[in-house]
Amino acid sequence: MMSKKETINLIDTFSEFKELKNIDRSTLISVMEESFRNVLLKMFGTDENFDVIINPDKGDFEIYRNREVVEDEDLEDENLQISLTEAQKIDTDYEVGEEVTDNVNFLDFGRRAVLTLRQTLASKILDLQKENVYLKYSERVGEIVSAELYQIWKKEMLLLDEDGNELYLPKSEQIPNDFYRKGDMVRAVVAMVDNKNNNPRITLSRTSPVFLERLFELEVPEIQDGLITIKKIARIPGERAKVAVESYDDRIDPVGACVGVKGSRIHGIVRELRNENIDVINYTANTNLFISRALSPAKVSSIRIVEEEKRAEVYLKPEEVSQAIGKGGLNIKLAGMLTGYTLDVFRELDESEETEDIYLEEFSDEIDEWVIETLKSIGCDTAKSVLAIPRDELIHRSDLEEETVDEVIKILAAEFEGDDK
């Protein structure tokens, strides 16, 4: 047997692996036995005549070698055979053809064997740990996790979970207003798990619509209980989101339940998302009604669906157009994402306006078509609707060059010179 000190050193090594790598007892025993057998195989060309017994409760292990007793002159392989003379030194009753089992001191194989054993064990434990991490997080894709921020790089952040596993949060998956320091706890959803060359990489996301969905599930018991379901989510991270919900119980108002009394439920979600504005609306299978609700807070006058193009022409009163489009065009963009339709907004004109006003298409000889389309995209489809917007606001909303806006205003204004506007 090896010395007690050496035995303890080896077993301590195994215990460290078990504690740090979170490997269960039966798996650890299996890995340890396999590691011993790999060393024996390298040394003797076979491990079939060895019995390896791991005793984790006692903190030690034993190795026994089985050899056949042969006549002294017939000894060919000292690993598989033992001479009659040597066998009878162990027990005088041994005879040729019998099997001798003796305890092997692993340290007698030398320092190289011990070093090989440690390296083999470490390698197998590491591979096993990687596999466990991959399997663990593969089952958690779409779940929210909390992890400690360990390091910040230019393109991503490195986080460590409670077991010390590495998780990555790319810059592209961070909310623009996110700000963290080393040591902060970060909440995100498991977005993707790769396992290239047995090197698992867990990618997290805070921008995914799934993250917003999971936050609602945490805050709204009715969603957890299945009484309310989230049908669709459209999101521009850090800016605004629209969430369509439906109730399976007529007695429950799904929007009210999600928002909570005085916004109590939704406030926690908004804070987590860095003050991202969240609109919750009632889902409906009625396309016209769903588009109308998606464009809230604007009030829609009428909608014409062009189904084959997945496009909808939305008509609103002039004072509702800016609300439908929203700041920076966010409202109409999110409504389109939520409904799956391309939304074209038009001002609803009464007869007197139609006779006095002129559609922008009439100016196609003087104004480039792409400029006209840009103006229409912000709800300006007539000359007067453009002229009604202050110059600076028009530049900001359309994102056109100042010179282009000035030229457009000049052309349109010339059409009404002499009129009382």
Tens-place pLDDT, residues 277-331: 999 999 999 999 999 999 999 999 999 898 898 999 898 888 888 889 888 889 9
Q: Are 66 and 51 in contact (CB under 8 A)?
A: yes
1: pLDDT confidence band, cut at 50, 70 and 90? very low
Place of tokens 């609306």: 281
What is the C-alpha to C-alpha distance for residues 366 and 408, in angstroms, rounded to an integer? 9
Residue 31, CB-side half-sphere exposure with 13 Å CA sphere: 23
Place of tokens 């779940």: 143
Residue range(s) in the chain whose domain bears CATH number 1.10.150: 351-415
> Residue 335: is its pLDDT beyond 90?
yes
Residue range(s) in the chain whose domain bears CATH number 2.40.50.140: 140-207
Query: Which architecture, in CATH terms, is 140-207?
Result: Beta Barrel (2.40)
Residue range(s) in the chain whose domain bears CATH number 3.30.1480: 4-134
Going through 307-384 in order, the beta strands assigned E by DSSP cover 311-316, 342-347
Place of tokens 């002294």: 72
User: Residue 240: which H helix or E strand, with range?
Assistant: strand 240-247
347: pLDDT confidence band, cut at 50, 70 and 90? confident
421: pLDDT confidence band, cut at 50, 70 and 90? very low
Q: What is the CATH number of domain 351-415?
A: 1.10.150
What is the C-alpha to C-alpha distance for residues 9 and 4, in angstroms, rounded to an integer? 9
Per-residue pLDDT, averaged over 158-164, amounts to 93
Predicted structure pTM score: 0.69
Pairing of strands 156-160, 166-170: antiparallel
190: pLDDT confidence band, cut at 50, 70 and 90? very high
Per-residue pLDDT, averaged over 183-188, amounts to 96
What is the C-alpha to C-alpha distance for residues 83 and 369, in angstroms, rounded to an integer? 101
235: pLDDT confidence band, cut at 50, 70 and 90? very high
Domain 4-134 classification at class level: alpha beta
Partnered with residue 324 across adjacent β-strands are none
pLDDT tens profile 48-64: 999 988 876 666 788 89
Place of tokens 């700041």: 327
In this predicted structure, what is the pLDDT of residue 11? Answer: 54
What is the C-alpha to C-alpha distance for residues 174 and 187, in angstroms, rounded to an integer? 11
